Amino acid sequence: MKDEHLLLSIAVLGGTGKEGKGLAYRWARAGYHVLIGSRSEEKAVAAAKEIQDMLGDGTMVRGMGNLLAAKEANIVVLTVPYSAHRDTLETVKEELKGKILVDVTVPLVPPKVATVQMPAAGSAAQEAKEIVGEGVEVCAAFQNISHEHLMGEEGVECDVLVTGTSKDARAETIKLVQAAGLKGWDAGPIENSVVVEGLTSVLIGINKKYGSTHAGIKITGASNTPK
């Protein structure tokens, strides 16, 4: 019998992009029921089929529009570019009530993507909380993971910092981090997401300067066991 948490449905909105597809692949491989959402249902169905073909029979992954994916899921993960952040949340916010929203968005502003540029709300995650309102727990996670790692079988040498509106929501999000084969850390309240999101621009700059494509972060000197 599968663990109870594996019965949850995870919607990945923007799941046809590289980061979203990689996370969907990892969770489908772990046995979760994954719903890939997109503004284009056709693209979502194609992305789901790609993952099904990679993982074989029994894979629980479906493609659909963002609104239906958000409605059917227990947990919703937002992986859209920042330019589509507000519009996507406005479209699905009524379907998020009583759920956890995990926001992977980074407020990158081209062409200076290696420069930290945060929105007036403080961070994309805080902006998301303002948009969706009460009744939705919002966490920020996965901003510092290169998509190049996610579609492979190997382990990922990068930790995930999780911030959010409650300790319980952060704990549930860390379960998703672990299911994706990564190590997650409770990085505190959602206000701290400004640091986590800002690190992405720093890592982009490091990649450019040192000729890499997947710089990440590791937490040292701590046991990874919350007290």
- Judge whether 66 and 43 are in contact, CB under 8 Å: no
For 220, half-sphere exposure in the C-beta direction (CA atoms, 13 angstrom radius) is 3
What's residue 224's pLDDT? Answer: 73
Q: What is the distance between the alpha carbons of residues 165 and 188, in angstroms, rounded to a whole number?
A: 9
Q: What is the pTM of this model?
A: 0.93
**Which residue has tokens 């046995």?**
31
4-210 has which CATH code? 3.40.50.720
pLDDT in tens for each of the 227 residues of the chain?
344 445 689 999 999 999 999 999 999 999 999 999 999 999 999 999 999 999 988 889 999 999 999 999 999 999 999 999 999 999 999 999 999 999 999 999 999 999 999 999 999 999 999 999 999 999 999 999 877 778 777 777 889 999 999 999 999 999 999 999 999 999 999 999 999 999 999 999 999 999 888 888 999 988 777 66
Q: What is the distance between the alpha carbons of residues 26 and 19, in angstroms, rounded to a whole number?
A: 11
Dihedral sign for Cα atoms in the order 28, 181, 8, 41: negative
End-to-end Cα, the chain, rounded Å? 30
Q: What is the DSSP letter of 82?
A: G
What's residue 154's pLDDT? Answer: 72
What's residue 227's pLDDT? Answer: 66
What's residue 1's pLDDT? Answer: 32
Name the strands in the sheet holding 100-103, side by side, starting at the edge strand that comes first in the sequence: 61-65, 33-38, 9-13, 75-78, 100-103, 137-140, 159-164, 183-189
What's residue 2's pLDDT? Answer: 43
Helix, strand, coil in percent for the chain, rounding step 5: 45, 20, 40
